[in-house]
Amino acid sequence: MTVLNPNTCLVQFAKAPILGCVKTRMQSALGEVGCLNLHSALVEHQFYLQREALVSNFELWCSAEHNFFDQLVDGTDVPVRVQQGIDLGERMHNVFVDRLRQYSHVIIIGSDCPSLDGEYVAEALSRLQQGIPAVFGPAADGGYVLVGLNHANSALFDGVYWGSDQVMEQTRERLKGLGWQWGELPILPDIDRPDDLKLLSDFTKLNHFLV
């Protein structure tokens, strides 16, 4: 398929759907099986949304090999690769190092924000193409749902308290320390806690998880 920005790469990060290991903060509302189903549905939603948008070359990078991912990409041209690194920061840095050898601009997104669409990715790419070194999509919980870079530097990710409400703020401090300019897109919500489930009402294939 022809994409709008052939010198760019969009990477979707996804955890392997293992019972009891995904969406654990939702267990009080959904139980383990419900959490597993929600996680899988969110990954699928984001995958099809971005694949159909054709904004950029698109790849799926997973926490571990799993037949769920093989089935998801079956019949598509989307490559599946396994993340490498001891924490999220190292895994993201390694992807940026790898993909920026081939592409001028690289973006990583998570799988937990169903409102992150192709237009949002296109705006991030536009900022990078204007020469801004880094662009972020802040999350309502203090993290971020998107990070895009024109070049990699591990200092951007070192020592960040991943999973906390300080991730974006700590990242801003590291950006200042590097002397980088950066852009921020509108804040979007992740689906991580029971209170977030109400946000799924806008998405036909996800609103059956409403409780």
Report domain extents, the chain.
Answer: 5-204
Residues 6+ apart with CB under 8 A from 113: 46, 137, 139, 145, 188, 189, 190, 191
Residues 6+ apart with CB under 8 A from 58: 3, 9, 10, 11, 12, 50, 51, 78
- Angle between helix axes 118-129 and 27-53 (nearest 10 degrees) is 60
pLDDT at 207: 80
Whether 187 contacts 139, CB under 8 Å: yes
**174: Cα separation from own chain's centroid:** 20
Q: What is the mean pLDDT of residues 35-62?
A: 97
Q: 128-153: buried (b, 16+ CB within 10 Å) or exposed (e) per residue? A: beeebbbbbbbbebebbbbbbbbebb
Judged by DSSP in three states, 39 sits in helix
Whether 137 contacts 144, CB under 8 Å: yes
CA gap 147, 118 in Å, rounded: 14
pLDDT at 182: 98
Strand partners, 21: none
Q: What is the mean pLDDT of residues 130-155?
A: 97
Q: What is the mean pLDDT of residues 168-193?
A: 97
Q: What is the mean pLDDT of residues 97-116?
A: 98
Cβ atoms within 10 Å, residue 114: 21
pLDDT at 146: 98
Q: Model pTM?
A: 0.97
CATH class label, 5-204: alpha beta
pLDDT at 205: 79
Please say if the pLDDT value at position 145 is more than 90.
yes
pLDDT at 211: 55
CA gap 209, 61 in Å, rounded: 25
The residue among 83 and 210 whose pLDDT is bigger is 83
pLDDT digits (tens, 9 = 90+) for 187-210: 999 999 999 999 998 888 788 776
Q: What is the mean pLDDT of residues 71-91?
A: 97
